[in-house]
């Protein structure tokens, strides 16, 4: 008998911190067997210690690495009897700053992790998803994928792409019985908010957000929304009241949204 027994199964990338860790804790507490993946073993081990015994399996790999994906999904399948009820494509990184200040190598890294990593995950996981009745994919985007976010231009572009990819795949995979849902959180209190434009930057994005009076939500809210995304009939799930407001404004008052974005751009030094 597989380690997951008859439990539902979820494979989570970026499980070593933030939304990934909170989602693992929530799903494990509700009886799911969790495949936990992260690029770093230390944080992943910390997540494991927070979960009930026998509720998880781990893999250390970089989501940019296709062979890493293949090995991890194969190992997860061995643990679950070839089942994957939910692929939670969560791993992501950010770089903040004026566009020209972000080194191109950093911009490439953001694209490779945030977009190509998601695509790699769907390719690798599709064979297990196809064998699992009621399977679905939840791709984590961002409210920055609903409106363009100044000083997060490349990050924002990748999240727009994840949103479009999810919508297209939801239509494509309907005949396979697989749903593809996109989760778009507002700013969540995770390590990604502590990333500056470059190593050694004097100011962090989290400081700018708080100084601007913007809401920053706890990871537990995002995890609950991940649970909703795993069960909803909707194709897009927003996380946070501010995210819901932005979605509404974008649809019905695009001119006002554009003006607000322009007013929110900080003065160049």
Ordered domains of the chain (ranges, CATH): 9-264 (3.40.50.720)
pLDDT band of 78, cuts 50, 70, 90: very high
pLDDT band of 151, cuts 50, 70, 90: confident
CA–CA gap between residue 59 and residue 69 (Å, rounded):
9
Query: Do 36 and 49 touch, CB atoms closer than 8 A?
Result: no
Percent of the chain residues topping a pLDDT of 70: 78
- What pLDDT digit, counting tens, does each position of 3-22 carry? 667 899 999 999 999 999 99
Q: What are phi and psi of 237, to 5 degrees?
A: -120, 120
pLDDT higher than threshold 80 for residue 62: yes
Question: What integer pLDDT is reported at residue 210 of this predicted model?
Answer: 56
Question: What integer pLDDT is reported at residue 198 of this predicted model?
Answer: 44
Question: What integer pLDDT is reported at residue 250 of this predicted model?
Answer: 65
pLDDT band of 201, cuts 50, 70, 90: very low
Question: What integer pLDDT is reported at residue 123 of this predicted model?
Answer: 98
According to DSSP, the residues that pair with 60 across neighbouring strands are 38
- What pLDDT digit, counting tens, does each position of 208-262 carry? 655 556 666 688 989 999 999 999 999 999 987 776 777 666 676 567 666 665 6
Average pLDDT taken over every residue of the chain: 88
Question: What integer pLDDT is reported at residue 149 of this predicted model?
Answer: 84
pLDDT higher than threshold 70 for residue 269: no
Angle at 199 between CA 198 and CA 205, to 5 degrees: 60
Dump the DSSP string for 28-53: HHTT-EEEEEES-HHHHHHHHHTS-T
Percent of the chain residues topping a pLDDT of 90: 67
pTM value is 0.89
Q: Mind telling me the catalytic residues? A: 155
């Amino acid at each position: 008998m597989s380690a997951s027994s008859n439990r539902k199964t979820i494979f989570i990338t970026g499980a070593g911190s933030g939304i990934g860790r909170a989602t693992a804790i929530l799903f494990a507490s509700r009886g799911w067997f969790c495949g936990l993946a992260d690029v770093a073993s230390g944080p992943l081990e910390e997540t494991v210690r927070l979960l009930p015994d026998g509720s998880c399996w781990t893999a250390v790999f970089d989501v940019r690495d296709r062979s890493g994906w293949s090995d991890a999904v194969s190992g997860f399948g061995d643990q679950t009897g070839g089942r994957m009820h939910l692929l939670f494509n969560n791993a992501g990184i950010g770089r903040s700053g004026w566009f020209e200040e972000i080194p191109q190598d950093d911009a490439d890294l953001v694209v490779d992790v945030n977009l190509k990593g998601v695509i790699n995950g769907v390719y690798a996981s599709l064979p297990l998803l196809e064998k699992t009745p009621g399977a679905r994919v939840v791709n984590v985007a961002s409210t920055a994928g609903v409106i363009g976010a100044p000083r997060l231009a490349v990050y924002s572009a990748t999240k727009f792409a994840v949103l479009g990819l999810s919508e297209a795949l939801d239509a494509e995979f309907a005949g396979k019985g697989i749903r593809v849902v996109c989760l778009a959180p507002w700013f969540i209190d995770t390590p990604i908010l502590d990333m500056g434009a470059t190593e050694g930057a004097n100011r962090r994005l989290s400081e700018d957000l708080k100084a601007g009076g913007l809401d920053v939500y706890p990871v537990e809210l995002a995890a609950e929304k991940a649970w909703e995304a795993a069960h909803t009939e909707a194709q897009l799930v927003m996380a946070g009241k501010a995210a819901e407001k932005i979605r509404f404004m974008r649809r019905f008052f695009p001119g006002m949204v554009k003006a607000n974005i322009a007013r929110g751009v900080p003065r160049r030094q």
